[in-house]
Chains A and B, each alone.
Chain A
């Protein structure tokens, strides 16, 4: 177990690993260590030693931090200047199986996992906010890409390549990312008594409206269980669509009125109280409605397909929709999960993604953490990995067979 404290130690560590052919498991706070295929490694490296905000310029909308900085620290620094990470990063610790971990994770982990929340469909994902990185490759070389500005086409955008790479390409030692003004107020309306098809259609319609919802989720009855008592439906086959609006108080009231008009035909709408709203979006962000399941998957698909996809799910599969209907979180028992996942991926046929966030090892092995890809795509991915980490030392096999 290693815990380097600065970049040069990381470089030494990786050079040693390269020479000695030692495979490494990387972690920040370990909240998402359960994600992916099992990694056969010789040693673990914790990046928590590289912690701290190096630079923060609110008027330049940029922050530079070390990867092991706790997300909470970053968020506190931002909220003190009325700014935030627009992509609303979840910790997803419970989803990945790190039950009992109260940590929200590290900023490095956020970007390595491309962890993004409900606002993703409006504000972009984590990868849309990364501006630059410093990193050390599996060859022990330290390199940088990007910078501290948004408009940058100087060399390849390796920061984006690293986002969502789950530590398999390089060890990030510094991150520069875009921060934005935090909306002063937020309000959510709940449209209750909606059948699934109506609810999902409504999400899609509202996402296309010009009034800028920043949160659009639909929770069927079963998914509402853990939420405050006021959020329930009268029948099992009905659910609630949630519409969040953020901005200045004036703007929020204005747009909320517009949304209330748009939803009047669908069902009865009520405005949530502050604590209800907070609890709801917290739960949606962390996928709490499904996080007790043995197998958890997230489907990202064209929103117009959500209705059909959900209708094909069997009864024992719990689900809820987020990101304007572009995301479906699924939770199901291990029995028959493999065939459900395989069936889903077959129907999506590469025109949507279906990622296994949690499953017993056998199921991960059987269907793979990610959907199968064609030969050309596999080849490219393998060669990219090879160019950064030819000895396959960094989180080997985490994203599937090499």
Chain B
């Protein structure tokens, strides 16, 4: 994975930089020792590793601002890092850059039940927000499966979703404000506890900006009231087509479930072996729905869902009779990823979104690709919103398999784009999908986005080498006019 070439002059001044950092940071906040820095060389995408020049752990916004200002002055690149759970290499360090770990920003600052929001530091984990408010009957809706560990700052960077996002929205629909430090050291406060901030929708822009526009230090999140009742329905089908058809008809009937997940044969088998959740093994496709609301409402929806399921030739129809049973329905699905670890030494989790009705077609094409690449693939699908997670199984200790897995993955993403979907649903582009961006965007599209980056970070010091495959210098971009998709200066540095 090619990254921007390191600036040797910066590397030479490493000790000087550490000295200047020590002027306002405690020794435990700067990691210099090489063996220790190794722990930060990768995030959740362990195939890619890069030892950073230094790791810095600020404790408050002022320190973040000083660090960024210092880096801006001395020409040092910065890679922000939350919990390091990114699956796209979003926190992959740079050889001549610092990793700015937000791990110490772990306090919940204010829970405002009256205004149904909470103000938290960006290093607070997603689940701990819900845990802090659930005794009062509230929760924070976006629930990515890594929610026990991932941070809200990271959620903002990737516009995280989760099982419940069809009904309750993504991160960008659930935040009211944030505090951002720009690469210049300026601190920006956007929004607050109110619904409609004035001016350009910076909250919308920053959600999903993958750490390229600024460092998030604080987030104000919306709290929702927990619904009076929740039940789950487990449906087993003879084919992916039947399952997909059922999904379409449920939505067509005007029902928006709180969650709707699908698993294919290999995923079901692995999940069942690992977790013993009780999944029927004779159904090649499984659909798990979650319905919430009042009891009467749920009863009504369940009645409709059962009817539709029977029409779609469901072989198995189970409705949870207790909260314990509901959680058991979900147990296997939630264990799907680690379950892969039991049937294969390594797996590569892909992330693309497709129009829902394309799923059977995409699964068939993937089965063909699986034969071509010689690697198995299991599928977990957010049927609610079309986000697909193919899990490509391989063994990194066997030469060439990692490369084949990546090629398989890239082919799957191209297929997603081909059928009208997108390259990434929730994991982000990071480094993993960076070089596929031209499959989705024209040159102009990419230039427009990069010009926007220049508005926030004109020297491109924040997280360079992520998301965009070509680095343009902002001065050039300003003058650039992309005519009919062609750039006038083909010799601008690429990497």
Q: Chain A: residues with CB nearer than 8 A to chain B?
A: 57-62, 82, 114, 120-121, 124-125, 127-128, 137, 139, 141-145, 147-161, 163-165, 169, 180-182, 184, 204, 207-212, 247-248, 250-251, 254-255, 258, 300-304, 323, 326-327, 350-353, 355, 370-371, 373-374, 376-377, 379-381, 383-384, 386-388, 390, 399
Q: Once the chains bind, are B254 and A181 in contact (CB under 8 Å)? A: yes
* CB contact under 8 A between A120 and B195, given known A152-B425, A157-B205, A387-B454: yes
B333 within 8 A of A: no
Question: A152 and B294 in contact (CB under 8 A), knowing A209-B225, A300-B194?
Answer: no
In the docked arrangement, what's the CA distance between A61 and B255, Å?
11
Q: Provided the pairs A156-B209, A210-B228, A251-B296 are in contact, do residues A300 and B421 lie with their beta carbons within 8 angstroms?
A: no
Of all chain A residues, the one with the shortest Cβ separation from B294 is A254
Q: Tell me the dominant secondary structure on chain B's binding face.
A: loop
- The answer to whether B208 has its CB under 8 Å from any CB of chain A is yes
> Which B residues lie within 8 Å of A371 (CB)?
198
Q: How far is A207 from B474 in the complex, measured between Cα atoms in Å? A: 46
Q: Tell me the bound Cα distance from A143 to B161 in angstroms.
A: 26
B356 and A60 form a contact (CB under 8 A): yes
A353 touches B205 (CB 8 A): no
Q: Mark B204-237, 1 if CB is under 8 A from A, else 0.
A: 1101111000000000000001111000000000
6 contacts between A and B (CB under 8 A): A120-B195, A149-B425, A160-B172, A208-B225, A254-B294, A351-B192
- Establish whether residues A380 and B189, one from each chain, have CB atoms under 8 Å apart when the complex forms: no
The yes or no answer to B164 lying at the interface (CB within 8 A) is no
Is A149 in contact with B192, judged by CB distance below 8 angstroms?
no
Chain B contact residues, CB within 8 Å of chain A: 112-117, 137, 158-159, 161, 165-166, 169-170, 172-173, 182, 186-190, 192-205, 207-210, 225-228, 248-249, 251-256, 293-294, 296-297, 300, 353-357, 382, 385-387, 420-429, 433, 437, 440-442, 444-449, 451-452, 454-456, 467, 478, 481-482
Q: 10 tightest A-B contacts by CB?
A: A160-B204, A181-B254, A383-B455, A151-B425, A304-B114, A302-B193, A151-B387, A300-B196, A302-B115, A387-B451
B456 to A380, Cβ gap below 8 A? yes
Set of chain B residues within 8 Å of A153, measured between Cβ atoms:
158-159, 208, 210, 424-429
Closest to A83 in B: B254
Cβ–Cβ contact B424 & A254, under 8 A: no
Question: How distant is the Cα of A388 from the Cα of B450 in the complex, in angstroms?
Answer: 11
Q: How far is the CA of A178 from the CA of B316 in the complex (A)?
A: 32
B422 and A149 contacting across the interface, CB-CB below 8 Å = yes
Q: A147, A212, A303: which contacts B293 (Cβ < 8 A)?
A: A212
Taking a contact as CB atoms under 8 Å apart, the answer to whether A158 and B199 are in contact is no
Other A-B contacts than A155-B449, A381-B199, 10 sampled, CB-CB below 8 A, are A121-B195, A137-B448, A145-B449, A151-B161, A151-B353, A151-B386, A155-B446, A157-B208, A377-B190, A384-B455
B194 lies within 8 A of A302 (CB)? yes
Count of CB-CB pairs between chains A and B under 8 Å? 258
With beta carbons under 8 angstroms apart, the residue of B159, B182, B256, B448 that contacts A158 is B448
Chain B minimum-CB-distance residue to A354: B198
The answer to whether B169 and A211 have CB atoms under 8 Å apart is no
Q: Given A207-B116, A254-B297, check contact A163 B204 (CB 8 Å).
A: yes
**Cβ of B426: which chain A residues have Cβ within 8 Å of it?**
151, 153
A156:B296 contact, CB within 8 angstroms: no
* Nearest CB in chain A: distance from B20 CB, A: 24
Residue in chain A with minimal CB distance to B138: A208
**Measured CA separation A58–B249 after assembly (Å):** 10
Task: Report if A125-B196 is in contact (Cβ < 8 Å); known contacts: A143-B444, A180-B256.
Answer: yes
Interfacial chain A residues near B226, Cβ < 8 Å: 210
Give the residues in chain B near A152, CB-CB below 8 Å.
208, 353, 422, 424-425
Asked, given contacts A144-B445, A152-B425, A381-B199, whether A124 binds B204 with beta carbons under 8 Å apart, the answer is no
Residues in A neighbouring B225, C-beta threshold 8 A: 208-210
Complex interface: chain B residues within 8 A of A212 (CB):
293
CB-defined contacts of A390 to chain B, threshold 8 Å: 478
List of B residues within 8 angstroms of A125 by Cβ: 195-196
Residue of A nearest to B423 (CB): A154
Q: CB within 8 A of B353: which of A61, A149, A381, A387?
A: A149
Measured CB to CB, the nearest residue on chain A to B420 is A148
Contacts of A163 in B (CB 8 A): 201, 204
A149 in contact with B429 given A209-B225, A377-B199, A380-B202 (CB within 8 Å): no
Q: A223 vs B354: C-alpha distance in the bound complex, in angstroms?
A: 48
Asked if A143 and B448 make an inter-chain contact with CB atoms under 8 angstroms apart, the answer reads: yes
Given the complex of chains A and B, what is the CA–CA distance between A373 and B190 in angstroms? 10
Docked-complex contact A160 and B205, CB < 8 angstroms: yes
Contact present for A300 and B195 (CB under 8 Å): yes
From B117, B200, B423, B440, A165 is in contact (CB under 8 Å) with B200
In the complex the two chains form, is B449's CB within 8 Å of A59's CB? no
